[in-house]
Amino acid sequence: MEAKLTPMGDRLLAEKVEQETKTLSGIILPDRTVNAKPRLAKVLAVGSGRLLDNGKVVGLGLKVGDIVVHSKFGGIEIEVKEEKFIVLSEKDVLAIRDGETMEMEKLKLLGDRLIVQPDAPDAATKSGIVLPKSIQKRFYTGKIVVAGPGRWRQSGIWEEMKLKKGQTVMYARYTGMDFKVSDECSLILNQRDIITVIE
């Protein structure tokens, strides 16, 4: 990178990581399959962090070289001296990939994010309660497979993650973002999106 670009505040500068467009056996994947994969980017520079109301600056929890998973429509693509980059804010980053391959259990989530494996729509609770059809249309259940550490509230107070891996939770129908890794369909949600824990 010839030009020196310094992201400000809670932003980071990254370059896209190209996705595989064919399988190991040489089968070319259709665009819809490639587009369903998480968006990856390599971090090139990190801003100073997010400024809270109490004057404290909270770092991003990212470092140069990290491979991050970001939201489909997150970030701004820029071009400087014929080099293409993407500028992401902290809220655009869904997870950090740990290792060379995408494995659900090895993803490090930022803030109060969760990865939830949805249950079948007509699944019963552990205690045998079958949810009525009217509720199934509005609410879904699933199991938490990865949980973030918590988040800094804008007021400057650290909010611990109250939810943890293995819990079954209920969430609203149109909440979260679809997330697919190794043919596993999941959702990325925030802790505040969870309606209740089911035991």
Domain hosting 50: range is 1-97
Q: What is the mean pLDDT of residues 139-152?
A: 91
Task: Looking at the structure, tell me whether residues 90 and 171 fall in a common domain.
Answer: no
Given this model, what pLDDT does residue 4 score? 80
Domain closes at, from 97, 121, 150: 97
Distance CA 78, CA 96 (A): 22
More confident residue, 166 or 177: 166
Which amino acid would we find at residue 55?
Answer: G
Distance CA 14, CA 32 (A): 24
Report the percent of the chain where pLDDT is more than 90: 41
The answer to whether position 104 is within a domain reads no
Tell me: the pLDDT tens digits for 82-111? 888 999 998 899 889 887 777 887 889 988
Q: What is the mean pLDDT of residues 50-62?
A: 90
Domain closes at, from 41, 75, 97: 97
Say whether pTM exceeds 0.85: no
Task: Looking at the structure, tell me whether residues 82 and 126 fall in a common domain.
Answer: no
The answer to whether position 106 is within a domain reads no
Task: Looking at the structure, tell me whether residues 18 and 85 fall in a common domain.
Answer: yes
Task: Looking at the structure, tell me whether residues 87 and 128 fall in a common domain.
Answer: no
Task: Looking at the structure, tell me whether residues 5 and 50 fall in a common domain.
Answer: yes
Task: Looking at the structure, tell me whether residues 6 and 93 fall in a common domain.
Answer: yes
Task: Looking at the structure, tell me whether residues 130 and 91 fall in a common domain.
Answer: no
Task: Looking at the structure, tell me whether residues 133 and 55 fall in a common domain.
Answer: no
Full DSSP string of 108-176: EEPTTEEEEEEPPTTPBPTT-PBPPHHHHHHEEEEEEEEE--EEE-TTS-EEE----TT-EEEEETT-S
Task: Looking at the structure, tell me whether residues 83 and 132 fall in a common domain.
Answer: no
Q: How many domains does the chain have?
A: 2
Name the least confident of 4-13, 20-29, 113-122: 20-29
Report the percent of the chain where pLDDT is more than 70: 82
Domain closes at, from 97, 132, 159: 97
Q: What is the CATH number of the domain that holds 129?
A: 2.30.33.40
Given this model, what pLDDT does residue 101 score? 74
Distance CA 92, CA 84 (A): 18
